[in-house]
Structure formats: structure tokens, C-alpha cells
Structure 1
């Protein structure tokens, strides 16, 4: 009797050992995490910029972190810069689509959105023109003296987002930044092409959606416009309550994100959008 029990115990342990070895081999072959999450990254036959956007329009998003004691000087220098760019609009092939101050998020931070026509060929012309301009050099010197740091990105607009419409009245803007896992931009675009129709159908709050070309790669920027913080709350709650597919879209896009941030901004008096 004791011998039979011993044989059954040995057989059980051997069976467990075989199953553990088999699992271990699979993990070694596919990688530990791929054995748990067997999600495949879509193979790309071309750059995602060809699939998701019109490359003739280049957007530049610049962020300035200003010294607290230099705010007035910075605003004056920024107004001079916009005046210079407007006076040379035909040469620079572009215009400003918003000048904002962050009120919730990084303090003493300003965000500026520019759009240039003609793709990178005209961007090259802009670089050469600005490098030779003494007026621009003087304005930039004034701006730089006010800054703690600065950052810029070249971006493309998602084709499924509506064209930018300048706003009037008094509004707030939310800048949402998504840092995606490499290789997931097309998948993100497929889901958000559906999502943008839901979010923009009633409230018309979508301002611009872009993805990075140069700077922080696999970085997405969504800018939303609301009449107030309360209107933002109502708009966000409405889509959860009235759009049955919204939960599914969120569930599928969240795993694509490595990091996300949100900032609330207000337009400056000199901003083209209000």
C-alpha cells in the first residue's frame, strides 16, 4: 500500500515537472512577457506619416518655460516675434494658430502652435531666412533671456481630425500628450478615427490632433477647446454616457500608452484663437 502511494506521488511530481519545463521552454522561445501578452505590433509597409497625414503641412509646437520675474518682458518679446512673422508671412510660408499660457500644469509655461505650408522644403528655406535675419536674432535674444528652458517639435496633423478653426469668445484649451509604445501609431490612429467623431459630434470641441515627426518620437498631442472647466467636465461625461463604443476604444488605446499628461491653457491676448 505504501509502495503504491509512493509511485503515484513520484508520477505526479514528474508530470508537474514536465509541464513546468514545457512552460519554461515556451517562455524562453517567445519571451516571458510575450507568453502573457501575445499582442502583435502591426507591421509597417511605409512610414505612418504616409498613412495618417498630409505631409505638406508641418506643425511646430514650441514650449517656453519662463523665469517668473521675466513674464512681462517675455510677453513683449513674443508680441514682437509674432509681428515679425506676420510681416514676413509669405517668406516664412506659415502662420501662428495659437499662443497659450498654461494655468494648470507646469507654471510659467507658454505654448505656441505654428503651421507651415510646403513641407520640409519650405522649412529649409525658413531656417536659412531666419539665420540671416538681424531683426529675428534681436527678438530671439530678448526671448531667450527670459527663459529657463525651451523645447520644440515638428508634427503632422492626423487626417481624421477636423481642420483647425480659430475660435472667438473666451475659451480654455486642454493639451493632452500621449507617449506611445513604438510601432503602435497606426493602431492608435485606427481607433481615434472613430473616437474623434464621437467627441466632436455634439460639442465641436476638437481643435487639433498631431503626432511627432521630429523631437519626441511616438508622441501624440490632442488639443481640445471648451468654454469653461465646467463645460469640459460635461463634455467628457457626456461621451461616456451617450456613446456605447467609447469604453471599447479607451480599453484598446490605453495599452498603447507609455505615459500621458494633461495641461489646461488660456489664450494670450495676442493669440489668433481665443
Structure 2
């Protein structure tokens, strides 16, 4: 199992059981992933599974961490990751272009789940470079938020790509109890957003602010972002996906990010 963490820092300048009943037509339409998800007698529609066990990737998944940090963060973690024994990798690093300013955003991947995360934290405590960075960072922060994330089974896994690209991190805060319903609709909706290879990764929170979803997209520039998003509306079915997911949202946020020179996602 892989886990993800989002950490958001500002500078000075409950998982619920869910009951679902589907028509036979719906079950045929969902196919593959959702067919296995709902492979039970429709009359027995009360699930006792956590939504993380239903929606998250299994063998290929990782625990992820998103950190929003001061810019000096990049140098420190480049040094840490030069050590082959450090069981963590950078999936992507960016500076915020539009959205909340004065932030660098980093996406980390921990293959092996919580034990690997614990191993990383223990090694950080022994790193002189990181401890010095931590002291300097404390002088700059006015707030900090952490989130542990899992990736949706039907989303792409973040893999290195060439640039130049800009990235959009869209964050949705959902109504409690609606995560499985969100996953049901997006398992279909994601197919409308694949033509331009824009889908980078999709995650949902496990610890921290719960019922939060993060979608990460890549575009050549802001104009291609507009054209790609508009083209989705020309596909039959996308409007229905939006119609059914919007009522599940309590609030949403969009950030436009520019990759750092060392980011695997360019």
C-alpha cells in the first residue's frame, strides 16, 4: 500500500459506511472497476467496507504527501534523496503561479505505506541538514496543514513527463458520507479527460481534513487548459458527471503550478 500526505504551509510575504443501490443497466455501464466494486446481491446494499478499501489502488498504490513549503525546501530534500537508503521519492515539485502565493508544492510518494513513512520520519530526525532547515522554516511559517492521501484506483498514477507544462491542483471538500458516490461518478467521468493526457493523479484524504479530494492536471499553457476543459463539454456524458458531482461539493479551490527544475513532472 502507498500513502500520500498533503502538507500546506503559509509564509509571511471519517470514513462512513455507505449504502448504494444500482440498476442492472447502471451496473453494466460502469463495467470493470465498478462491476467488481458492486459485485454483490443488490438486495444486500448496505456496505460495511471503508471507502478507502473500495476506492484506493492496491498493489501499485503508494502513500503520497503534498507539502507546501518555503523555497529553500528543495535544496534540503535534494540532498536527502541523494541517499539511496531514503525510502521515498519526489513525484513532483512546483512553485505556485496562481492561487495561494509564496508556496512551493511537493508531491512525495512512499511505496510501502505507513511503515515506510515512519522510517522516513525517523531518518529525518537524524539529518543535520533537515533539522537546520526545520529551524529556518519555523521563522517563516504562519500556519501548516498536513494530510495523508490515498490514490483513486481509476486515476492515472503520477509518472515523470517532459515539459514544458503547467499544472493545476484542484481541491474539493466534499460533504461527509459522499466519497463513494464521488468515486462512482468520477470512475466514468475520468474517461472524458484523457484525450490530451492531462490527467496526472487523483487522491483522497485519510488523515487531516477528511472528505477532501485532490485532482492534479497537466496542460501546455493556460490557453490549452481552457481548450481542453471546453472540449470535455462536447462529449456526451460529461455534463451528467458534472451535474451529479457538484451537489456533493462543499467548497473547491484551484491552484496553477509551475514545475521546479528538478521536478520529475515537467
- Regarding TM over 0.5, the answer is yes
Among 41, 47, 52, the alignment partner of 1:49 is 52
Distance in 2 (CA, whole Å) between partners of 1:142 and 1:89 is 26
Residues 1:247 and 2:239 aligned together: yes
Superposed CA offset, 1:70-97 (max 9, x none):
xxxx43x223222223123433x21111
Deviates more, 1:167-176 or 1:219-228: 167-176
* Map 1:253-264 → 2, pairs under 5 A: 253-264=245-256
Residues 1:177 and 2:171 aligned together: yes
- 1:124 counterpart SS class: helix
Among 123, 127, 130, the alignment partner of 1:129 is 123
Among 179, 182, 190, the alignment partner of 1:188 is 182
* Contact kept in structure 2, 1:62 and 1:150, CA below 8 Å: no
Could you say which residue in structure 1 is the equivalent of 2:219?
226
**Superposed structure 1 runs of 4+ greater than 6 Å apart:** none
Distance in 1 (CA, whole Å) between partners of 2:101 and 2:78 is 26
Distance in 2 (CA, whole Å) between partners of 1:119 and 1:203 is 31
Distance in 1 (CA, whole Å) between partners of 2:57 and 2:48 is 17
Could you say which residue in structure 2 is the equivalent of 1:96?
90
Superposed CA offset, 1:198-218 (max 9, x none):
111x11100110000111110
Deviates more, 1:128-137 or 1:150-159: 128-137
Could you say which residue in structure 1 is the equivalent of 2:154?
160
Residues 1:59 and 2:53 aligned together: no
Q: Which runs of 5+ in 2 are unaligned?
A: 1-17, 21-45
Distance 1:89 1:178, change over 3 A: farther
Which structure: larger Rg? 1
More helix by share: 1
Deviates more, 1:225-234 or 1:163-172: 163-172
* Contact kept in structure 1, 2:88 and 2:120, CA below 8 Å: no
Q: Which runs of 5+ in 1 are unaligned?
A: 1-39, 65-73
Superposed CA offset, 1:205-261 (max 9, x none):
0011000011111000001000000000100110101x1101111111111111111
* Contact kept in structure 2, 1:97 and 1:272, CA below 8 Å: yes
* Contact kept in structure 1, 2:202 and 2:215, CA below 8 Å: yes
- 1:159 counterpart SS class: coil
Distance 1:254 1:138, change over 3 A: same
Could you say which residue in structure 2 is the equivalent of 1:20?
none
Distance in 1 (CA, whole Å) between partners of 2:138 and 2:259 is 21
